[in-house]
Amino acid sequence: METVKAMKLLTLDEVAEMLRKSPAQLRWMRHNSSGPKCAKLGGRVMYREADVVDWINAAFDAEVSK
Protein backbone atom coordinates (compact mmCIF):
# COMPACT_ATOMS: atom_id res chain seq x y z
CA MET A 1 0.00 0.00 0.00
CA GLU A 2 1.29 3.43 -0.93
CA THR A 3 1.67 6.08 1.72
CA VAL A 4 -0.08 9.38 1.15
CA LYS A 5 2.23 12.37 1.01
CA ALA A 6 1.17 15.68 2.48
CA MET A 7 -0.89 17.59 -0.04
CA LYS A 8 -2.96 20.70 -0.10
CA LEU A 9 -6.69 20.10 0.00
CA LEU A 10 -9.08 22.68 -1.43
CA THR A 11 -12.76 23.28 -0.77
CA LEU A 12 -15.38 23.55 -3.49
CA ASP A 13 -15.43 27.35 -3.04
CA GLU A 14 -11.64 27.60 -3.39
CA VAL A 15 -11.63 25.53 -6.59
CA ALA A 16 -14.57 27.48 -8.00
CA GLU A 17 -12.60 30.69 -7.42
CA MET A 18 -9.49 29.16 -9.02
CA LEU A 19 -11.48 28.19 -12.12
CA ARG A 20 -13.47 31.43 -12.14
CA LYS A 21 -16.72 29.52 -11.91
CA SER A 22 -19.55 29.73 -9.44
CA PRO A 23 -19.82 26.99 -6.82
CA ALA A 24 -23.07 25.91 -8.53
CA GLN A 25 -21.26 25.49 -11.86
CA LEU A 26 -18.57 23.40 -10.17
CA ARG A 27 -21.24 21.24 -8.49
CA TRP A 28 -22.81 20.67 -11.91
CA MET A 29 -19.42 19.73 -13.35
CA ARG A 30 -18.98 17.25 -10.48
CA HIS A 31 -22.45 15.82 -11.18
CA ASN A 32 -21.55 15.36 -14.88
CA SER A 33 -18.04 14.02 -14.09
CA SER A 34 -16.59 16.80 -16.24
CA GLY A 35 -14.65 18.60 -13.51
CA PRO A 36 -11.49 17.83 -11.55
CA LYS A 37 -11.33 14.75 -9.32
CA CYS A 38 -12.81 15.19 -5.88
CA ALA A 39 -13.76 13.12 -2.84
CA LYS A 40 -16.00 13.45 0.16
CA LEU A 41 -13.93 13.63 3.31
CA GLY A 42 -15.82 13.89 6.56
CA GLY A 43 -18.99 14.71 4.63
CA ARG A 44 -17.33 17.57 2.74
CA VAL A 45 -16.36 17.66 -0.94
CA MET A 46 -12.62 18.28 -1.17
CA TYR A 47 -10.20 18.58 -4.06
CA ARG A 48 -6.47 17.83 -4.12
CA GLU A 49 -4.66 20.85 -5.51
CA ALA A 50 -2.52 18.57 -7.71
CA ASP A 51 -5.67 17.04 -9.28
CA VAL A 52 -7.07 20.49 -10.09
CA VAL A 53 -3.76 21.55 -11.68
CA ASP A 54 -3.62 18.28 -13.67
CA TRP A 55 -7.20 18.86 -14.88
CA ILE A 56 -6.32 22.40 -16.03
CA ASN A 57 -3.17 21.18 -17.79
CA ALA A 58 -5.11 18.41 -19.55
CA ALA A 59 -7.57 21.00 -20.87
CA PHE A 60 -4.72 23.09 -22.27
CA ASP A 61 -3.03 20.01 -23.76
CA ALA A 62 -6.28 19.01 -25.48
CA GLU A 63 -6.68 22.54 -26.89
CA VAL A 64 -3.12 22.56 -28.29
CA SER A 65 -3.62 19.23 -30.08
CA LYS A 66 -6.67 20.53 -32.00
Residue 51 belongs to a domain? yes
Instruction: List the domain range (segments joined by +) for residue 36.
Output: 9-64
Residue 20 belongs to a domain? yes
What digits encode the pLDDT tens for the residues 26-60?
A: 999 999 999 999 999 999 999 999 999 999 999 99
More confident of the two residues 7 and 39:
39
Residue 1 binned pLDDT confidence (cut-offs 50, 70, 90): low
Residue 3 belongs to a domain? no
Residue 31 belongs to a domain? yes
Residue 7: its pLDDT value, please? 86
Residue 2 belongs to a domain? no
Cα torsion 17, 21, 25, 26: sign: negative
**Residue 3 pLDDT > 70, yes or no?**
no
Q: What's the pTM?
A: 0.84
- Cβ neighbours for 11, distance < 8 A, ≥ 6 positions apart: 44, 45, 46, 47
